[in-house]
Amino acid sequence: MKPQRQIVASPPLPNPLPQAGEGANVGLRPRKPINGVLLLNKPAGITSNAALQKAKWLLDARKAGHTGTLDPFADGLLPLCFGEATKFSAYLLDADKRYRAVMQLGVTTATGDPEGEVLSTREVNVDCGDILAVLPRFKGEIEQIPPMHSALKHLGRPLYEYARAGLEIERPPRKLTIRALEMIECDPPRVVLDVQCSAGTYIRTLAQDIGAALGCGAHLTALTRTAAGGFSLDQAHSLADLDALDASQRPSWLQPPDCLVTHLPALQLDAAEAAALCQGRNVPTIRDHSGLIRLYTSANRFLGLADAEDGQLVARRLMATQRT
């Protein structure tokens, strides 16, 4: 008989906690300023952090971050930000994502994916019509309980650490939006879905909830992120391709930092206005703008972001380079 998992509001954690083993030992080298966005096609089988560290090493970059974690079993589009581009990564982190999700009906696992322990196996007595009938329940604004095997924090520690310690935390449901949910292949127990969703959606949980609605359970066997914000997977490069390039050519694959904020209106400043903002002063403006604005110098170089408030430009996030 399997031991019962203890459910508590704020359980004590054993010390030390199980370690995640994140990242790869890629060594130490001097870092240089690298500013831009790499659209990476992350392979399955490694963590997002390991992919980030490998790309950071290949580019010999000092500062790096990603714009939304992909689980180790998942692959697909993982935009990586380097240098000054990290200042604007939140705008892609909060953007919609799109996925190709492969579900297996009739089997549930502890993690909702192929890496977890099998919890139950049931006979699958549903057809494609039954599946199509339940999908509308999960379109639009829905509530979802985040999985225990996730990086969400509780008392400063990720939930997956509690899960590995055999503890379960009570998690309030979160509102999110499923903008599109289409069945693109159906051969029960295998079902393939195309999902477009708001940031923060757990596709593993969506698959589990669909399986529960069908009465047979389900888990993900594969997951590919096909789009994030305005970027698509066909624009992405693999780590192997990046590695094969000569080191001097690798930065050419980076997109400029302002590619993360192209949805915002743009404004060009003269030299005096640009200098004033960089010195921390507000700049009067009679231009018809409000809210966040992309700023460019007179030489059409990206300066950063400002808020237009009551006829004033107020600096919000400025590049440390290209300020004149």
Active-site residues, by number, are 71
Question: What totals of helices (H) and strands (E) does the chain contain, helices first?
Answer: 7, 20
The SS3 of residue 123 is coil
Provide the token pair at 306: 């400002």
Residue 83's closest CA among 269, 267, 279, 251? 251
Contact call for residues 105 and 127 (beta carbons, < 8 A): no
Distance CA 33, CA 35 (A): 6
User: 222-255 burial string, b = 16+ CB within 10 Å, else e?
Assistant: bbbbbbbbebebeebeebeebeeeeeeebbebbb
Question: Would you call 175 exposed, middle or buried from its count of C-beta atoms within 10 A (0-12, 13-18, 19+)?
Answer: exposed
Write the DSSP string, 229-292. Answer: TTEEGGG-B-HHHHHHS-TTTGGGGPBPGGGGGTTS-EEE--HHHHHHHHTT--EE--SS--EE
Write the DSSP string, 151-211. Answer: --EETTEEHHHHHHTTEEE----EEEEEEEEEEEEEETTEEEEEEEE-TT--HHHHHHHHH
Distance CA 119, CA 117 (A): 6
